[in-house]
């Protein structure tokens, strides 16, 4: 069973060929450098670049997997959440390929892709029945540019949000903090690199919603304001922002942002009323080594097994995770027969996996 999967939800044009949890190819053509000068993703530019690049990316994915369109058993695509006009490009292409090849069409929720991304395996194909692949009930963690969620995984395909952000997502907050420091976009990875050489205690920042963890929400907008104030304060005091100041500030921002996330996670792990043994984490921000260490530590404290994607290429947006999620739908024959009914759903929630 082979799936050709496509994701154009944001600024990565991505296609992959998967065989359940085995990834045969995973092609990602990032547009990040083109959006950098705007300090964020420009939807109209994203759409245009997806249109220009999608055929190349799909052909490359098929080529890398050593197969042709006629060899795949289904075509899968992200239908949401994401940028409406960007999602549309992938959906239109997937419909076209599904019709052309006469292969079933599978609609996938991008967040489900991130949740299941740690199931990807190199090498052998995993054909176990799905309930053995994932130890459910479990928890999923998604930290990305658009989402900060802790999710109950009742089983693959059945999810419930336990905690989410009320304003910015963690990745969005890191990107904005990097911008305030005059660094590039996307800022998360740049901030991480600088923070490694910084002292997080030099310019401490408040931890959002400290003491209110039981509300089970995330909020990063207040931290952003404190950060701006702190940058001003340091600049005025030192007459300039030295390279070391930038590193110290980057470390402080990460420290507060991650502490907030970990404190809420710790609260949830201490209070969940269902039996959980495993946690599955994914999303662009999980590529951050410090965040992973802190997640690992809190899981250890609660005696839980944590799963992260095995390669950096499965953290950020990619189509391999979409193909992987689609594999479980293929097993259950969850195909969409009336393609006219398939539409982008920019605000699709994980509770309403298609």
Residues 126-145 that bind ligand KG4 (CB under 6 A): 144-145
- Which is closer to ligand KG4, CB of 81 or CB of 327? 81
Nearer to Zn ion, 31 or 144 (CB): 144
Q: Count the site residues for ligand KG4 by CB under 6 A.
A: 20
**CA separation for the pair 195, 207 (Å, rounded):** 17
Residue 8 vs 130, nearer CB to Zn ion: 8
Mark 95-123 as b/e (b = at least 16 C-beta within 10 Å): bebbeebebbbbbbbbbbbbbbbbbbeee
Contact status: 189 vs ligand KG4 (CB under 6 A): yes
Is residue 26 a contact residue for Zn ion (CB under 5 A)?
Answer: no
248 binds, among Zn ion, ligand KG4, none (CB under 5 to 8 A by kind): none
Q: Per-residue x/- mask for ligand KG4, residues 298 to 327, rule CB under 6 A?
A: ------------------xx----------
Question: Tokens in use for 114?
Answer: 């991130």
Q: Which of residues 137-176 bind Zn ion (CB under 5 A)?
A: 144
What letter would DSSP give residue 121? B
User: Smallest distance from the beta carbon of 202 to ligand KG4, in angstroms?
Assistant: 20
Separation CA 74–CA 327 (nearest Å):
9
Contact 9, 344 (CB under 8 A): no
Residue 109 token pair: 């929720």
Cβ proximity to ligand KG4: between 10 and 281 the closer is 10
Q: Which is nearer to ligand KG4, 208 or 283 (CB)?
A: 283
Closest residue by Cα to residue 324 from 53, 24, 9: 24
Q: Are the C-beta atoms of 2 and 71 separated by less than 8 Å?
A: yes
Q: Where are the alpha helices (DSSP H) in the chain?
A: 32-35, 43-64, 84-101, 110-116, 130-133, 170-180, 188-195, 221-238, 243-271, 289-301, 320-331
Cis peptide before 127 (omega within 30 of 0): no
Query: Judged by CB, which is closer to ligand KG4: 19, or 192?
Result: 192
Q: How far is the CB of 309 from Zn ion (least distance, A)?
A: 12
Contact positions vs Zn ion (CB under 5 A): 144, 317
Site residues (CB under 6 A) for ligand KG4? 10, 144-146, 171-172, 174-175, 186-189, 192, 283-285, 287-288, 316-317
């Amino acid at each position: 069973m082979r799936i050709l999967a496509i994701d154009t939800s944001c600024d990565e044009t991505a296609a992959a060929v998967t065989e359940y949890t085995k990834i045969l190819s995973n092609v990602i053509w990032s547009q990040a450098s083109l959006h950098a000068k705007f300090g964020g993703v420009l939807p109209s530019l994203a759409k245009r670049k997806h249109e220009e690049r999608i055929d190349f990316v799909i052909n490359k994915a098929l080529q890398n997997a050593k197969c042709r369109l006629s060899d795949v058993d289904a075509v899968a695509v992200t239908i949401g959440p994401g940028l409406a006009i960007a999602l549309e490009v992938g959906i239109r292409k997937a419909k076209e390929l599904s019709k052309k090849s006469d292969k079933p069409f599978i609609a996938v929720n991008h967040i489900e892709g991130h949740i299941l991304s740690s199931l990807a395996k190199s090498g052998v194909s995993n054909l176990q029945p799905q309930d053995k692949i994932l130890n459910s009930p479990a928890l999923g963690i998604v930290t990305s540019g658009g989402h900060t969620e802790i999710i109950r995984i009742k089983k693959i395909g059945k999810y419930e949000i336990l905690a989410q952000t009320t304003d910015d997502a963690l990745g969005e907050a890191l990107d904005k903090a990097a911008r305030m420091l005059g660094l590039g976009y996307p800022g998360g990875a740049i901030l991480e690199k600088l923070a490694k050489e910084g002292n997080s205690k030099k310019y401490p920042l408040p931890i959002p919603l400290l003491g209110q963890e039981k509300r089970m929400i995330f909020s990063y907008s207040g931290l952003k304001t404190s950060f701006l104030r702190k940058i001003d304060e340091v600049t005025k005091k030192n007459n300039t922002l030295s390279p070391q100041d930038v590193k110290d500030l980057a470390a402080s921002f990460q420290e507060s942002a991650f502490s907030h996330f970990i404190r809420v996670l710790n609260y949830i792990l201490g209070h969940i009323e269902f039996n959980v043994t495993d946690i599955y984490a994914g999303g662009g921000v999980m590529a951050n080594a410090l965040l992973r260490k802190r997640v690992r530590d809190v899981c250890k404290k609660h005696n839980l097994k944590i799963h992260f994607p095995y390669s950096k290429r499965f953290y950020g947006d990619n189509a391999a995770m979409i193909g992987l999620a689609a594999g479980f739908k293929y097993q259950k024959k969850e195909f969409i027969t009336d393609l006219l009914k398939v539409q982008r759903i920019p605000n699709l929630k994980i509770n309403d996996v298609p």
